[in-house]
Amino acid sequence: MLKSKDQLEQHVNQFRNTLYQFEKEVDYEFSVDEWRYLLEHGLNSLLSTRKDEQKMISNVSIRTKKRPSRWKLSSGVVYAIPLPRLDGYGYAEMRVSKDENHETGQLDSMKYIQYYNIRTETMLSLQELDEKKSDPCIIIDTGYYGITEGEWTVLGKRHREEETFETPLLFGSVPSLDSDEEHYYITRGIYGERFFVEEEEARLVINPSGTCGDLSAVYKYEERLKEINNKLK
């Protein structure tokens, strides 16, 4: 029995990579009906090898539907991003959290782009990216122009269970009303309560508060890549 949603996410994505590798080895893309046939008979063959298994699969049914028009903006979608100043490609994923809206007291879904600590000269596939196991390096509430206009390339969609992405801490600042100083704050999520702190403490959070246009966000991403990886120019 799977122990957690995190494990379920991991195993589904591992299974997807296994199916991808199988298609690659046989040099053929199976149709949905062909996959249904393979799953039904392949699973029955697997069950037959288990000494204590008394059940068999009578039927595998797969129902299809039209892909939603805004699926490119859904949880788990992974993007390859042209890097205008570093050249090559960076990578990011749409993540969704659910947390309390400080102003309304209601639970709201919040979308973020999670950028990964990786840059490549040529564009990777989703499976190749998974093999790199790159860590996130910055999370930004990013505008969608680059996605909707096709400037970012959609590599595919990772399986993501609900509520497995923790609402990130963000930092920002507001100008003082009576001086030239800035007052820095930390907040949990887009709609979280602001807690004012010293600038040094705020900047440790890394993730900026407020919505960034996609180009501005990519510039921040490039700066973060350079900060982490000194060899990047």
Q: Quote the pLDDT of residue 231.
A: 59
Q: Which two tokens stand for residue 47?
A: 């069950």
Q: Quote the pLDDT of residue 76.
A: 97
Q: Are 57 and 43 in contact (CB under 8 A)?
A: yes
Query: Rounded mean pLDDT of 154-168?
Result: 93
Lowest mean pLDDT among 29-43, 132-146, 172-186: 172-186
Q: What is the DSSP string of 116-177?
A: ES--BSSPPPHHHHHHHTPPEEEEE-B-SHHHHTTSSEEEEE----TT-SPPPEEEEEEE-S
Q: Model confidence at 153, in pLDDT bands (50, 70, 90)?
A: very high
Q: Are 46 and 111 in contact (CB under 8 A)?
A: no
Residues above pLDDT 90, as percent of the chain: 79
Domains of the chain, by residue range, sit at: 71-228
Distance CA 158, CA 134 (A): 14
Q: Model confidence at 107, in pLDDT bands (50, 70, 90)?
A: confident
Query: Rounded mean pLDDT of 169-195?
Result: 92
